[in-house]
Amino acid sequence: MKQRKIKVNDIEICNDREITYIAGNCILESSAVVYETAKTLKRLMKGKKFIYKASFDKANRTSINAYRGPGMKEGLSLLAEVKRKLGLTVIIDVHEPGQAEAVAEVADILQIPAFLCRQTDLIVACARTGRPLNIKKGQFLSPWDTVNIVKKAESAGNNKIMLTERGSSFGYGNLVVDMRGLEIMKQETGCPVIFDATHSVQKPGGLGHATGGDSAMAPVLSRAAVAVGIAGLFFETHPEPSKALSDGPNSIALRDVAKLVNIISKIDETVKGKKK
């Protein structure tokens, strides 16, 4: 199938073009943490295609007592400020149909979380904004099931759709990645396919009161996924993962990002050649 090309600002996202990096904090914490992360990533990604991500709310935390974020109003204000001051392209999660239009005023790309990927009203509302969508494949779906998700977005007149692989449930409290799924989604939909390296190594509810993870495996899976030939690599990072307010166990330390990006870019170039 012909592979779609999605243009976001000056970034062209496509499975057979140079890889795009989507990276940032799992959740918006203090302004200091957000700016440190965003500034460092911008510097490390110089010359690369880079999109900054962060969530203003994590509506699916394990515990009722877990930190969810600053909320939509405060979170969008901070993200708009970071975007403006640093000149970044930004992707933001949307959890409810009523949030779509407000988020689209700030975000360059709207992202639909994996647990919500079959929510028709949410997909249609996001698609109607006209913004590109990144839809994460649910842990409970096969790769060919994503065809129906894409059709939901297209029904609203939007064909700027990306799909993200983030692992599949493997028993209780564990995920596994079937690399065949990346190629299947490419061939079945033609959509740019992203690999979510850090959510794929989560251990959902693994700590009882919180989700665990194995961040050491994120670079390993990243290398394998990029060797398939995909549009982008998604990962969460933090200056001090042990102190992160969400997804610390599976986040990549900010100090290790440069090494990861260097290796991934070399693999990507080997697979595709120099295709901007």
Whether 219 is covered by a domain: the verdict is: yes
Whether 230 is covered by a domain: the verdict is: yes
**In the predicted model, what is the mean pLDDT of the chain?**
95
* Torsion angle of C-alpha atoms 250, 255, 261, 263, degrees rounded to 10: -90
CATH of the domain at 84: 3.20.20.70
Residue with tokens 């990533």: 41
Would you state the pLDDT for residue 116?
A: 97
Q: Where are the alpha helices (DSSP H) in 63-163?
A: 72-86, 100-104, 120-128, 146-154
Q: Are 51 and 9 in contact (CB under 8 A)?
A: no
Would you state the pLDDT for residue 106?
A: 98
User: Which pLDDT band holds residue 209 (cuts at 50, 70, 90)?
Assistant: low
Ranking 18-22, 43-47, 107-111, 249-253 by mean pLDDT, the lowest is 249-253
- The DSSP output letter for 251 is P
Residue type, 268: D
Residue 188 pLDDT more than 70?
yes
pTM: 0.96
List 111's β-bridge partners, or say none: 93, 134
Whether 234 is covered by a domain: the verdict is: yes
- The mean pLDDT value for 199-224 works out to 84
For residue 86, the enclosing domain spans 6-272
Tens of pLDDT, residues 67-102: 898 999 999 999 999 999 999 999 999 999 999 999
Distance in angstroms (rounded) separating the CA atoms of residues 64 and 5: 40
User: Which pLDDT band holds residue 267 (cuts at 50, 70, 90)?
Assistant: very high
Whether 249 is covered by a domain: the verdict is: yes
Whether 1 is covered by a domain: the verdict is: no
Domain count, the chain: 1
Angle formed by the axes of helices 31-44 and 257-272, to 10°? 40
- The DSSP output letter for 2 is P
Residue with tokens 């700030």: 106
User: Which pLDDT band holds residue 1 (cuts at 50, 70, 90)?
Assistant: confident
Residue 276 pLDDT more than 80?
no
Whether 154 is covered by a domain: the verdict is: yes
Angle formed by the axes of helices 120-128 and 146-154, to 10°? 50
Q: What is the DSSP string of 15-84?
A: TTSS-EEEEEEEE---HHHHHHHHHHHHHHTTTSEEEEEEES--TT-SSTTS---S-HHHHHHHHHHHHH
